[in-house]
Structure 1
Amino acid sequence: MEDAMLRHVYWIGGGSGAGKSTIARRLAGRHGWRLYGTDEVMGDHARRTTPEEAPFLHEFIAMDMDERWVSRSPEVMLETFHWFRGEGFGLIVEDLLRLPSDRRVVVEGFRLLPHLVRPLLAEPRHAVWLLPTAEFRQAAIRSRATPGGGFIGKTSDPDRAGRNIAERDRMFVERLREETARLELRAIEVGTGMTEDDLAGRVTEAFGL
């Protein structure tokens, strides 16, 4: 039922730093689509959940910065990160169902896990996942660097926190690669030799536009 109600929705998932937001904005601007960024509603979604509904999220909220990013292994960080577990995904769907269906919507964010999106697709080509290489992600991180080191600068060991996050995210991308292949969904490898125009063209082609 929901797949029919969301047939006007296009989905761009993938790893952090892969260009999801940039490409979604380009598509929305070019075609006059609505844009829904899942990162922008994380705070709202956290407030709309209870500990019973999202136990990993509320455990994460209670942690200090070192507990989140320094003291745990990348493997534990991967397995317990609430958005990677799909917590709050139902709220994304609720939000989309509330939007008018008079024009298309492009949804983007790492929270779009293939196994959760797949049942909502009226057509498989309405979804694509961007999988950044390690080099591409490192370049993206350097370009986004903020004075003071951002949130990892608030830990007692920013270097270790950065390494932990990089390894966690590498494993997450591998999980996305395996899952998209298993579910026969489209994935695009994003490397340092790919320009923004190249990537926009690949996503446009994947969507059949």
Structure 2
Amino acid sequence: MRNVYWIGGGSGAGKSTIARRLADRHGWRLYATDDAMADHAHRTTAEEAPFLHAFLAMNLDERWVDRSPETMLETFHWFRGEAFGLIVEDLARLPRDVPVVVEGFRLLPHLVQPLLTEPGHAVWLLPTPDFRQAVFARRATRGGRFTQRTGDPGRAEDNLAVRDSLFTERLREETGRLGLPSVTVDGTLTEDELAERVSEVLRLRHGEGPGPARGPGP
């Protein structure tokens, strides 16, 4: 995993945008964990990922309307790290001579930390509630959110907002406890400035990559 850079964080923080910019700038491969979710769901059994398969059996109201945000947080399969091992399997199949930037909320700090072989290979973006709300409001104007297909879209949106806020605070506590870097995203930084801040954390210089990936150590 020496050729892997990790960008985790809360929903709406700009992980995908920043990861794509870094991949384009440095000629890296991009691995978006959101894109792998359907494949990973098919590659698991109910015994391996019980929360995932319980979620798949629910209808939209059961997922987003009928449960409290706290229950949604504690039972959401990706927040519990289910199928994280499949991310690692996917990455292990990629060529090691090209760095890869991995992004997504599934990158829980306590799961990523054991895979970090050196400093400067991971960062978590932590959006404030106001920033996240503004992001999702903009997204809603570009097309209906899945919450519109529930029986109570307003309550579903409120539940999701609280759940995501709780998740972000959990990430903030965990990165702090584990001594892992994070960046608060509150709208005071432009997209360019946020990309530069992440580059600094990852110890990258503009226009330069990290150099060839090294083989395994002794």
Structure 2 length-normalised TM: 0.92
The structure with the largest helix share of the pair is 1
Q: Which runs of 5+ in 2 are unaligned?
A: 205-218
> How far, CA to CA, are the matches of 1:193 and 1:180 in structure 2?
22
Q: Partner amino acid for 2:90?
A: D
How many residues align? The count is 204
- Structure 1: stretches of 5+ with no match in the other structure: 1-5
**Residues 1-209 of structure 1 mapped to structure 2, 5 A cutoff:** 6-145=1-140, 149-209=144-204
Q: How far does residue 124 in structure 1 lie from its aligned partner after superposition?
A: 3.1
Taking structure 1 as reference, are residues 96 and 193 closer, same or farther at Cα in structure 2, changes over 3 Å only?
Answer: same
Deviation at 1:149, TM superposition (A): 3.1
- Deviation of 1:208 after TM superposition, in Å, equals 0.5
- Equivalent-residue separation in structure 2 for 1:142 and 1:49 (angstroms): 34
Deviation at 1:144, TM superposition (A): 1.0
In 2, the alpha carbon distance for the partners of 1:205 and 1:147 equals: 32
- Report SS of the residue matched to 1:180: helix
Q: Percent identity?
A: 71
CA deviations on 1:50-88 (whole Å, 9 max, x unpaired) are 000000000000001000000000000000000000001
Let me know the Cα RMSD of the aligned residues.
0.9
Q: Distance in 2 between matches of 1:13 and 1:24?
A: 10
- Which TM-score applies when normalising by structure 1? 0.96
Tell me the residue number matched to 2:213. Answer: none
